[in-house]
Amino acid sequence: MSNKILVATEKPFAKKAVEDIKNICKNANYEFILLEKYEDQNKLVKAVENVDALIVRSDKVTREVIENSNNLKVVVRAGAGYDNLDCEAAKEKGVVCMNTPGQNSNAVAELAFGMMVFMARGQFNGKPGTELKGKKLGIHAYGNVGMNVARIAKGFGMDVAAFDPFVDNEKMIADGVSPVDSVEKLYNTCDYISLHLPSIPETQKFVNDKLFSIMKPGVTIINTARKEVVCEDSLIKIFSEREDLKYASDIAPVKKDEMMEKFGNRVYFTPKKMGAQTLEANINAGVASINQIINYFEKGDTTYQVNK
């Protein structure tokens, strides 16, 4: 019997990406099943019952989803952050979880600059704004997205610094980026701070009073990572005290309404997570996902496994 591959995306991939995944499945003699725009989590729980592999985006692959599957062997998060997968539940059931690092990172980095320009120009309100050229950009976490942000920043003529205790200084220096040895140095020297931290227990609410309180005047924080890495109460407190700060986030905070009401156009939130929502990123991540599944089934390749 051929393997059944379910693509379950509450926020669908571009049509071309779906077609590409479907064709690769067909050529490999795998059965392709599509569940898109589902509103009820139970639909996902039901859909996984008899499939062998699952491709998702930010869809919530909970313990219930995993436990309700009879044949599931591999879940691929078409993207970088896998905070939406219950990796532990998967591990207990022998289900391999993977991500597709780097496949959508240029898209996210480009959106970070879209947001920087948007905020620098007063959300296109017709009044004089400011330029990015000559400003100092601090990249908080220098992974695939951070590296793309650094590359693009140079085109804008920005001075780029980064903090990441897990990346060698030499790597940053080779990219023309100044490494800083403490996160505080990033927050108290930069005009723009771009967040690229994964959401893990150690990073949740990491950007809080301690860092907000040392920011220089006029800082704009751009969050294309996860809302969880910012402490919303700290943000509300500092924005109430200081009128010079701006915050734009790709995915609304829990306290979105309160922030919008209190801070007006000093804050901006995308209606839905848009970072990876490009044709190119969808094709890259979608095709990588199905190829990783095939390589796992045919060759036992676990290169991108995240729950070893």
Q: How far is the CB of 141 from ligand 3PG (least distance, A)?
A: 13
**Contact between 3 and ligand 3PG (CB under 6 A)?**
no
Q: How far is the CB of 106 from ligand 3PG (least distance, A)?
A: 12
**Contact between 57 and ligand 3PG (CB under 6 A)?**
yes
Largest CA distance in the chain: 64
C-beta closer to ligand 3PG: residue 179 or 286: 286
**Contact between 58 and ligand 3PG (CB under 6 A)?**
yes
C-beta closer to ligand 3PG: residue 79 or 146: 79
Piece of 74-82, 159-167, 175-183, 239-247 that binds ligand 3PG (CB under 6 A): 74-82
Q: How far is the CB of 161 from ligand 3PG (least distance, A)?
A: 24
Q: How far is the CB of 58 from ligand 3PG (least distance, A)?
A: 3
**Contact between 101 and ligand 3PG (CB under 6 A)?**
no
Name which of 193, 184, 188 is nearest 165 in CA terms.
Answer: 184
DSSP state of 90: H
Q: With contact defined as beta carbons under 8 Å apart, do 36 and 56 qualify? A: no
SS3 286: helix
C-beta closer to ligand 3PG: residue 81 or 138: 81
Q: Are strands 220-223 and 192-195 parallel, antiparallel or unpaired?
A: parallel
Q: Considering Cα of 114, then 115, then 118, then 119, what sign does the dihedral take?
A: negative
Residues 224-283 that bind ligand 3PG (CB under 6 A): 273, 275-277
**Contact between 148 and ligand 3PG (CB under 6 A)?**
no
**Contact between 79 and ligand 3PG (CB under 6 A)?**
yes
- Number of other residues whose CB lies within 10 A of the CB of residue 162: 27
Residue 4 pairs in a beta bridge with 31
C-beta closer to ligand 3PG: residue 11 or 73: 11
Q: How far is the CB of 280 from ligand 3PG (least distance, A)?
A: 13
Piece of 27-35, 76-84, 110-118, 207-215 that binds ligand 3PG (CB under 6 A): 76-84
What are the two backbone dihedrals, phi and then psi, of residue 290, each rounded to the nearest 5 degrees?
A: -70, -35
**Contact between 138 and ligand 3PG (CB under 6 A)?**
no
Q: With contact defined as beta carbons under 8 Å apart, do 172 and 178 qualify? A: yes
Q: With contact defined as beta carbons under 8 Å apart, do 8 and 47 qualify? A: yes
Q: How far is the CB of 267 from ligand 3PG (least distance, A)?
A: 20
C-beta closer to ligand 3PG: residue 11 or 256: 11
What are the two backbone dihedrals, phi and then psi, of residue 55, each rounded to the nearest 5 degrees?
A: -115, 130
Beta strands in the chain (DSSP E): 4-9, 31-36, 53-56, 74-77, 96-99, 136-140, 159-163, 178-179, 192-195, 220-223, 246-249, 267-269
C-beta closer to ligand 3PG: residue 62 or 130: 62
Q: Give dist(CA 270, CA 227) in Å, integer.
A: 12
Site residues, ligand 3PG (CB under 6 A): 11, 57-58, 79-81, 104, 273, 275-277
